Amino acid sequence: MPIPSTSTPELLSTPDDLRRWSLACRTAGLSVGMVPTMGALHAGHRSLIDRAVAENDRVVATIFVNPAQFGPSEDFARYPRTTDADLEVLVAAGVDAAFVPSVETMYPPGLVTRLGISGPLGDRLEGASRPGHFNGVALVVTKLLVAGLPDRAYFGQKDAQQCAVVRRLARDLDTGVEIVVCPTVRDPDGLAISSRNVYLNPEERLRALAIPSGLAAAMARFEAGERDATALATTVRSCLENERLDVDYVAVVEADTFSEVETAAPTNQIVLAARIGSTRLIDVVRLGVDTAPVGRGV
């Protein structure tokens, strides 16, 4: 007989609290789903949480703005922090526990252990633009999985290279955790929802629609038979540059390794990063899998 969940999530603030909560669930024969987030919860996060609630007896959402995955000149200090509103989202979603640790609890003085993601998966594209980023992601995700002992952990396809890194590390470290990747949630105009969209002013928000437009245009070319990866990437890049976005990269990659391909095939992904003013956005589509994002001019 499952233990009925309460409407207010149990608030857990240390990894030991998280472990005790999870062990109690598992001892009672209940499966545990985990949804790691950095807070500022939006409909994208909510889709992961809803799926976790549907697929597990108990769900813990984690809220932690992880300093280890931000570079020195990145937006750690100004990253939106909305814990009270986030907890309301978790109550409404029927989450059973919220893990909200402090930086000092996750990274106590004297911590010397590091994790590294080697090869193109760690070094290329996001890894090249944000040196050390995936090592920081790997460290925090590993700490969460080790303490939280979930059966399943939920991640968003929007952060495509992060998904590949996490899938790989869950396997490499023999965690036994099933990594579930959930589709990108978009605003009606096609822009992928992101906590960083709040940085955009109205004019930038409009120009940002070049991202879904460019991806949709490349998908249309792929559907029409274009297989040259450079041609597909150039289609996206031109759309971004037409709206004066500062392109960091556009690439067609193999989904698991993030190696760039010359000839595009179904399940390959078009990934991109671009800056609008001081805001850096990323996006992705899976060729032959996703429906094209709706965008201005498409």
Binding site for ligand AMP (CB under 6 A): 37-38, 44-45, 47-48, 155-156, 158-159, 182, 184-185, 192-195
Contact (CB, 8 A) for 296 and 215: no
CB of 234 to ligand AMP, least distance (A): 26
CB of 183 to ligand AMP, least distance (A): 7
Straight-line distance from the first to the last Cα atom of the chain, in angstroms, rounded to the nearest whole number:
52
Comparing CB distances to ligand AMP, the nearer of 90 and 185 is 185
- Residue in the structure block whose two tokens are 């106590």: 108
Please pick, among 9, 21, 44, 45, the residue that the annotation labels catalytic: 45
3-class secondary structure, 174:
coil
* DSSP category for residue 202: H
Nearest Cα residue to 63 out of 76, 51, 78, 45: 45
Comparing CB distances to ligand AMP, the nearer of 115 and 164 is 164
CB of 80 to ligand AMP, least distance (A): 10
Comparing CB distances to ligand AMP, the nearer of 229 and 255 is 255
Q: Which residues contact 223 (CB under 8 A, 6 or more apart)?
A: none
Give the distance, in angstroms, between the CA of residue 248 and the centroid of all CA atoms in the same chain: 18
Does the annotation mark 42 as catalytic? no
Give CA–CA dist 91/72, Å, rounded.
34
CB of 69 to ligand AMP, least distance (A): 9
Comparing CB distances to ligand AMP, the nearer of 156 and 214 is 156
Nearest Cα residue to 184 out of 206, 168, 216, 160: 160
| Six token digits for residue 13 | 């603030």
What amino acid positions are annotated as catalytic residues?
A: 45
